[in-house]
Amino acid sequence: MLRLIVRRTLLSVPLLFIVSTSTFVLVALIPGNIARTIVGSQATEQQYLSVRRSLGLNEPIYTRYWQWLERALHGNLGLSLYSQQPVTSLVDSRLATTLSLVVGATVVSALVGVAFGVSGALHPGAIDRVVDGVALLGLSIPSFFLGFVLVEWFAVHFRWFPASGYVAFGVSPADWLESLVLPVVTLSAGGVAVIAKQTRDAMRDVLERPFIRMLRATGIPRRSIIFKHALRSAAIPVVTIVGLVFVAVLGGSVVVESVFALPGLGSLAVQATTQSDLPLIQGIALYFTVIVIVVNLIVDLAYGFLDPQVRVE
Amino acid sequence: MNASVLLIADPPQGSSGLRASVQLLSRRPLAVCAVAFLAALALVSIAAPLFAPYNPEAQDLTRVLTGPTAHNLLGTDTLGRDVLSRLIYGGRRSLLSIVEGLVVVMAIGLPLGLVAGYVGGWADRVLSRLGEMVMAIPAIVLILVVLAAVPHNEDVAMFTFGVLGTPTVMRVVRAATLQVRKDLYIKAARVSGLTHLRIVTRHVLPRVMGPIIVQASLFSAYALLFETGIAYLGLTGNPEAPTWGGMIAEASTVIEQQSWLLFPPGILIALTILALGLLGNTVRDMAVLDEVAAKPRRTTTSSSTLTPVLIDHRDARPQPLIIVSDLEVVLRNRGGSIPLVDGVSFDILHGETVGLVGESGCGKSVTALALLRLLPNALETTRGRVVWGGRDVLSMPEGEFNDLRGSKFAYVSQDPQASLDPTFTVASQLIEAIRHHERVPRAAAKHRALELLRLVEFSEPQRVGSSRAHELSGGMAQRVAIALALSGHPDLLIADEPTTALDVTVQAEILALLRRLQAETRMSVLLITHNWGVVADICDRTLVMYAGQVVEESPVQTMFDVPLHPYTRGLLQSHPSLAVAHTHLKTIPGNVPSPGGWPDGCRFAPRCPHAIAKCRDEAIPLLMAQRDRATRCIRVNEILAEVEPA
């Protein structure tokens, strides 16, 4: 198990390198004068030159890249152009919000999706078609539309949940939960759809396997066969999909945090983009990548836990 | 040679080709609706000035937030602009964005996929690895980096989106190309000296068109979702110009006064994505169905309605453990039902081992599964009784019957490794079964599990108990499966070809084990096999099945000496270990007719050397030939006379 962790971690190093390099190169390759874009047309020549200098644009690209990489390795992602605060502290202060939202949405997607998927596999016909229909719909409704519809009903009309804003867990766990309900539901719709479909297909596949027939022939009760034996084997492909859903939900948080005015990484990214705050947005991209790598690692470990053959290798 | 090669090199009439896809599409009403909707949307957007009733940017502050009226069919927004006109013009930008992304993703993904699939080797490995990495990056953040550097430039954003989407297209094209490359005619085209470029464009591309259309529609759906998303976030273009995403952002500011504004753009976006997704799914489903349809399949609906004559020769015998009478199992499909087992009757005595013999596809396993009520979903028992302890178990409620499984009937299959749950240890599966049957504490169950493992001749039950299916050899797995079957002290063990998948030496071990266990426990065994050696080894009595019917029933020894049914004779003569030395091994001409294609009259007649016209006239009943033997052959006396000239 330890070897698996170490190997997977080492394998993720190239990915981190590629993302950091590609964000850097992307920005460097984009035609036009970035410093001019950032300061805007009304800025003085002095402001322009200072931005140029702080971006290191007077140096050749490889020097800039080397310096950036060296600092990044020491945990220094530079200063935000806009607020002049360290990128790392800006990002760290918002990490908890995004993680609450994204982990919450992934867990909800997994629980609801698996429930739908299992019932779809066990009741072919009507429920099955409902699962298909809901899945297609869940994937088609854009989160910013769904989010506002939920706000309209449950915040404006019924006043059950706040329309926007976030309360930290440390301040009030009850309010924290309340502030997350609508965003999590919004963000889960697509994930539920994907996971339900995958679970249903995997369950169907497993239920046809000979060992299920053997268990049934042994008289093991249906409940145990479905939830203990079949679901565990079906979980192996589903876990992969849950990992992909996490990545999708992380991307979706950018939009959903804006819908619900949550102070997370996503809304920070949008803000950094509108302000052309390059060091900040690059730093956020790096954080997102690290989160994805960690999740992929967790998925691999879960895989090893569920599938004994992986563990042996 | 060239002529013949070129002949082969003609591609098969493109089953997944573009034209076929279009033809098939026309048979799906929902997909036709989706295509019509998308076409109309594109037309209206492109010719926006013709269709839009107002200038999308014309404000009328005297009429804001009206809701739907005769003047403004979809109402007006906060500045009194016409919502319908803004939607129509907004569609232009979305359409353009989708096309931009699509062009980029195809221009890069398609050639790379073709190269990876067609060239293979290192090119494939490098491209696949790169693709995996790109797929692991959360696309939106990378695009935000780009939009930070080039503010409000939607074209660049869509270009980047296309680039980041290439791995998916590449993978699908690669997989499809790999499949095509394996086909014979591509190899033939190579041999005949066509250039690679020509092979790819003439032969490979048309065949991978189906998956490409699927990917194109799914990508378009994601592109629209993404485009409206960044428009909603206000990261694109001029804020005055109408965009679908932007309209939702505007609507959200007045959600408390007038929530109506959300719905026209929201529903339009959802419908468009739905149509694109539906189109992609339909094309994909069609490709699958197409393959299935390409395989010839019989859909005979007529079920033969002959009623077999039941011969009650069982009165003279002791009370049997189980009596199966007139069992019929059918395969249900859309066209109707095809009988697989047709009027099978037999019984098994206490402590008796009965062999069920026949070629593949004659209904042996289906009979066994019908007894256990474990038929796959498409199969159904439509007639017959299985009497156990005076009751018909086929009509018991499922819950009640399940109590008999494992404790009265047990089952061992032909695929031992696949019969064990791969994710649990042997011991935990045994313990679960034991505790289900005996309701004992865990420790006692564990003790008994080890005992069972010892009973099936494992010298290290502890070690075996802690292993999982993939760590066991086939013979070990079968012994574990037998232990599992014995966990409930069954009265009848149904063993479906328990040795078929095993090596010859292991076969002998398993048979010896079964014989020993049978003798020790006095349980009855129904042994399904096509191996006469196995029958000779452990069976008391044999049932021979052909085309869903029992054609001969006989004690083993007399049947080996004088087989009554021509099919039994044929089977015995074609068996290598029973053949007479220095004579040619005989085979039965022809094949077992598949279910649904059973001939009228005697089902074996087309392959039978003794068949006469009368055999083909009507269904043949099972006839009593001797005190304990029956055969489904009307010429049994002639055949016997031939065998015993004395």
- Residue B15: the pLDDT is 44
pLDDT, tens digit, 9 for 90 and up, residues B563-585 = 888 898 888 887 766 655 566 66
- Kindly determine whether residue B149 and residue A27, on different chains, have CB atoms separated by under 8 Å: yes
Residue owning tokens 């006239």: B617
Tens of pLDDT, residues B302-361: 333 333 334 444 445 678 899 998 999 999 887 788 889 988 999 999 999 999 998 888
Residue-wise pLDDT for B202-259, tens only, equals 778 887 888 888 889 989 999 999 999 999 998 887 777 889 988 988 888 888 888 8
pLDDT exceeds 90 at position B38: yes
Burial (CB count within 10 angstroms: exposed 0-12, middle 13-18, buried 19+), residue B406: buried
pLDDT at B184 (0 to 100): 60
Residue B149 has its nearest CB partner, among A18, A30, A143, at A30
pLDDT band at A256 (very low <50, low <70, confident <90, very high): very high
pLDDT for A63? 82
pLDDT bin (cut points 50, 70, 90) of residue B37 is very high
Q: Is residue A198 within 8 Å of residue A162, measured between CB atoms?
A: no
Predicted pLDDT of residue A313: 42
Mean pLDDT to the nearest integer, B140-164: 88
Q: Do A145 and B265 touch (CB under 8 A)?
A: yes
Q: Domains in chain B and their CATH numbers?
A: 20-293 (1.10.3720.10), 309-408+490-642 (3.40.50.300)
SS (H, E, C) A71-98: HHHCCCCCECCCCCCEHHHHHHHHHHHH
pLDDT band at B495 (very low <50, low <70, confident <90, very high): very high
Contacts of A143 in chain B (CB under 8 A): 229
Instruction: Pick the more confident residue, B193 or B229.
Output: B229
Suggest the residue from B235, B282, B421 to mutate for an interface test with chain A (most A CBs closer than 10 A): B421
Which pLDDT does position B189 carry in this prediction?
72
Nearest CB to A285; choose among B141, B281, B470: B141
Strand partners, B338: B331
| Cross-chain Cβ contact A137/B274 below 8 Å | yes
Give the residue from chain A lying closest to B411, CA to CA: A217
pLDDT number for residue B256:
81
Instruction: State which residue of chain B sits closest to A288, comparing Cα positions.
Output: B138
Give the highest mean pLDDT range of A32-36, A105-109, A135-139, B140-144.
Answer: A105-109
pLDDT confidence of residue B303: 33
3-state SS assignment for residue B325: strand
pLDDT digits (tens, 9 = 90+) for B400-426: 898 889 889 899 988 888 899 988 999
* Over residues B378-386, mean pLDDT: 90
Q: In 3D, which of B328, B324, B300, B327 has the Cα closest to residue B314?
A: B324
Is B517 or A131 the better-scoring residue by pLDDT?
A: B517
Q: How far is B416 from chain A (nearest CA, A)?
A: 9
Question: pLDDT tier at A263 (50, 70, 90 boundaries)?
Answer: very high
Least confident of A27-41, B135-149, B453-467, B516-530: A27-41
Is residue B185 scored above 70 in pLDDT?
Answer: no
The verdict on a CB contact (< 8 Å) between B151 and A274 is yes
**Which tokens in the block code for residue B638?**
């002639």
Write out chain A residues lying below 8 Å of B229, CB-based.
142-144, 254-255
**B110 Cα to chain A: minimum distance (Å):** 22
Residue in B145, B374, B376 closest to A23 by CB = B145
Interchain pair B133, A18: CB under 8 A: yes
pLDDT digits (tens, 9 = 90+) for B518-546: 989 889 999 998 888 888 888 999 999 99
Q: What is the predicted pLDDT for the residue at B304?
A: 31
Mutate to test the interface with A, among B423, B429, B438 (most CBs of A within 10 A): B423
Residue of chain B minimizing CA distance to A21:
B142
pLDDT mean across residues, chain A: 84
CA-to-CA separations, A57 to A18, A27, A36, A80, B600, in angstroms, rounded: 22, 11, 11, 16, 90
> CB–CB of B235 and A273 under 8 A?
yes
- Full-model pTM: 0.80
Tens digit of pLDDT for each residue in B431-488?
Answer: 999 999 988 999 999 999 999 999 998 999 999 999 988 889 989 999 999 999 999 9
Under an 8 A CB cutoff, do A140 and B274 touch?
yes
What was the ipTM of the complex prediction? 0.86
Nearest to B406 among A14, A219, A255 (CB): A219
Of A218, A227, A48, A58, which is closest to residue B419 (Cα–Cα)? A218
Q: What is the pLDDT, as a whole number, of residue B21?
A: 58
Contacts of B481 in chain A (CB under 8 A): 214
**Residue of B137, B163, B226 to mutate, testing the A interface (most A Cβ within 10 Å of its Cβ):** B137
- The alpha-carbon gap from B367 to the nearest alpha carbon of chain A, in Å, equals 14
Contact A26 B146 (CB under 8 A): yes
Cβ pair A149:B262 closer than 8 A: yes
Least confident interval from A265-274, B289-298, B446-455, B613-622:
B289-298
Mind listing the pLDDT tens digit for each residue in B265-312? 999 999 999 999 888 888 777 765 554 444 433 333 333 333 333 444
| Chain A residues in contact with B252 (beta carbon < 8 A) | 144, 148, 151, 259
3-class state of residue B60 by DSSP: coil
pLDDT of residue B314: 47
What local confidence, expressed as pLDDT, does residue B7 receive? 33
Q: Using DSSP bridges, classify how beta strands B336-348 and B322-333 pair: parallel, antiparallel or unpaired.
A: antiparallel
Residue B127 scores a pLDDT above 60: yes
pLDDT of residue A30: 64
Return the percentage of chain B with pLDDT > 90, whole number.
31
| Mean pLDDT to the nearest integer, B549-573 | 88
Residues A61, A223: Cα–Cα separation, whole Å: 63
The mean of the pLDDT values for chain B is 83
CB contacts of B405 in chain A (<8 Å) are 216-219
Query: CB A139 to CB B147 under 8 A?
Result: no
Residue A75: burial class (beta carbons within 10 Å; 0-12, 13-18, 19+): exposed
Q: How would DSSP label each residue in B392-418?
A: EGGGS-HHHHHHHBTTTEEEE-S-TGG
Using a CB-CB cut-off of 8 Å, the residues of chain A touching B423 are 229, 232-233, 306-308
Nearest residue of chain B to residue A211 (CA atoms): B419
Residues ≥6 apart with Cβ < 8 Å to A186: A143, A146, A147, A150, A256, A259, A260
Q: Do A229 and B421 touch (CB under 8 A)?
A: yes
Contact A213 B150 (CB under 8 A): no
- Inter-chain touch A269–B233, beta carbons under 8 Å: no
Residues A191-231 pLDDT 10s? 998 898 889 889 988 988 889 999 999 989 989 999 999 99
Q: For residue B616, is pLDDT > 80? A: yes
CB contacts, 8 Å: A129 with chain B: none
Task: State the best of A139, A149, A211, A245 to mutate against chain B, taking most chain B CBs within 10 Å.
Answer: A211
Whether residue B273 and residue A142 make contact (CB cut-off 8 A), yes or no, is yes
Residue B371's pLDDT band (boundaries 50, 70, 90)?
Answer: very high
Nearest Cβ partner for B413 among A26, A156, A213? A213
Distance from CA of B364 to the nearest CA of A (A): 16
Least CB–CB distance from B262: residue in A152, A224, A255? A152
A-chain residues near B487 (CB < 8 A): 218
Are the Cβ atoms of A251 and B140 closer than 8 angstroms?
yes
